[in-house]
Structure 1
Amino acid sequence: MTTSSEPRPPAAAHHDVESVLRLEPRGDLDYDTSPEFLREAAAALAGRGTANVLAVDCRDLGFVDSVGLSALLEIHRDAALANVAVTFTHIGPRLEKLLRITGTYTHLTGATAQKNTS
């Protein structure tokens, strides 16, 4: 369930540099917002041009439920199928906890299973 009262676009996509496509999910990523987020992510990947890296900036990501987690996994899979490397940046403590509890942290971030204390 989305908790924000003001509608916001689920994500913004833009190129930082020619080879990097940045996707910035905003607000909650849940049952209500995941379908639109996935459409926007698919459109960004389809129109990526020469970008070979998808950087998902999670700094403005709010609550993530199981459907939202599934959306993140789907984006990761779709990018891999398109030969686009994926990085997740600015992962907040709540999202990190969800990823670690579900065993998806290493898969999505490529980081080691041990928590980075730096």
Structure 2
Amino acid sequence: MTRFTGSRPEYLHLNSAPHASTDGVLHMQVTGYLDYDSADYFLAATTQPLETTPGLRHLHLDCAGLTGLDSMGLAMLLMLHRRTAAAEIILHLDNRTPALDRLLDITGTLTYLIPETETAAAELPSDLEAASVDASQSTP
């Protein structure tokens, strides 16, 4: 694992696996609390590979070790999403805890932060049901 150094808070760690950028995919592990004090470090460490990894198409953040985040932490996730989208890279928030999903759901950012393919797969049954209702109500 590569550990990002610099002025990082002691309670937030980001690691990336060696050879993590094979086939345009990079995996990073987030451990600790993402808040106002760790926001700059988080954003710098997660956006660095966007500029330095040619052919990067998917950035996977393993959030299993993310113990919490405040409003600034949420803002940094949104900023990272904007930067990955601008670089045509899909951001994946993997291994989200129920607490993180709840926070994202309450703030209305859950569907925004997960890739469209995951959102589409989750919404497929209701979309199909709506399409079948529309089709049955149409007249020839």
Same fold (TM over 0.5): yes
Look up the match of 1:11.
14
What is the one-letter code of the residue matched to 1:104? T
> Structure 1 residues 32, 26: closer, same or farther in 2, change over 3 A?
same
Native 8 Å contact 2:60 2:93 kept in 1: yes
Which residue identity does 1:65 align to in structure 2?
D
Q: What is the RMSD of the two structures over their aligned residues, measured on CA atoms? A: 1.9
Aligned to 1:30: 35
Deviations along 1:67-105, whole A, 9 cap, x unmatched? 000111111110000011111110101111100000000
TM-score by length of 1: 0.82
Distance 2:106 2:13 in 1: 24
- Corresponding residue pairs, total: 108
Rg larger for: 2
- The 8 Å contact of residues 29 and 61 in structure 1, kept in 2 or not, is answered as yes
Identity across the alignment (%): 31
Q: What's 2:89 paired with?
A: 84
Equivalent residue, structure 2, for 1:95: 100
Instruction: Decide which moves more: 39-48 or 68-77.
Output: 39-48
Counterpart CA distance in 1 for 2:25 and 2:44 is 19
Q: In 1, are the aligned partners of 2:12 and 2:38 still within 8 Å (CA)?
A: no
Shift, 1:16, TM fit:
5.4
TM-score (norm 2): 0.70
For structure 1, list consecutive stretches of 5 or more residues without a partner in the other structure: 1-5, 114-118
Indicate the residue corresponding to 2:51 in structure 1: 46
Q: Is the 8 A contact 2:11 2:32 kept in 1?
A: yes
Q: Pick the structure with more helix per residue.
A: 2
In the alignment, what sits opposite 1:116? none
- Where in structure 2 are there 5+ consecutive unaligned residues? 1-8, 124-140
The residue number in structure 2 matching 1:75 is 80
Question: Quick one: which of 60, 67, 72 aligns to 2:65?
Answer: 60
Q: Which has the higher contact order (CA 8 A, sep 6+)?
A: 1
**C-alpha contact 1:10 1:36 (8 A) present in aligned 2:** no
